[in-house]
Structure 1
Amino acid sequence: MGKIMKTGKVVIVLSGRYAGRKGIIMKSLEEGTNDKQFGQAIIAGIQRYPRRVSRKMSKAKVHKNCRIKPFVKIFNYNHLMPTRYNVSDLSIDNKYTIKDLKDPVKRKKIRFQIRMRLEDRFKCGRNKWFFSKLRF
Structure 2
Amino acid sequence: MLLYVPKILELRRPKILLHWFSSTPLKVHQAKSQVHIMQELWLSKLPSTMGKIMKQGKVVLVLSGRYAGRKAIIMKTFDDGTSDKQYGHAMVAGIDRYPRKVHKRMGKIKIHKRSKVKPFVKVLNYNHMMPTRYTVDLGLEQKSSPKDLKDPMKRKKIRFQTRVKFEERYKQGKNKWFFQKLRF
Q: Into which bin does the TM-score normalised by the smaller protein fall? A: over 0.9
1:8-87 equivalent positions in 2, closer than 5 A: 8-87=57-136
Structure 2 residue aligned with 1:116: 164
More helix by share: 2
TM-score normalised by length of structure 2? 0.72
Superposition deviation, residue 57 in structure 1: 0.7
Larger Rg belongs to:
2
TM-score normalised by length of structure 1? 0.97
Structure 2's unaligned 5+ residue stretches are 1-49
Deviations 1:25-82 (A, max 9, x none): 0000111110221000000000000000000111000000000000000000000000
After superposition, the CA RMSD in angstroms is 0.6
Structure 1's unaligned 5+ residue stretches are none
**2:176 aligned counterpart, secondary structure:** coil
**Greater RCO structure (CA 8 Å; 6+ sep):** 1
Structure 2 residue aligned with 1:91: 139
**1:53 aligned counterpart, secondary structure:** coil
Query: How many residue pairs end up in the alignment?
Result: 135
Query: Which stretches of structure 1, 4 residues or longer, exceed 6 Å deviation after superposition?
Result: none
**1:121 aligned counterpart, secondary structure:** helix
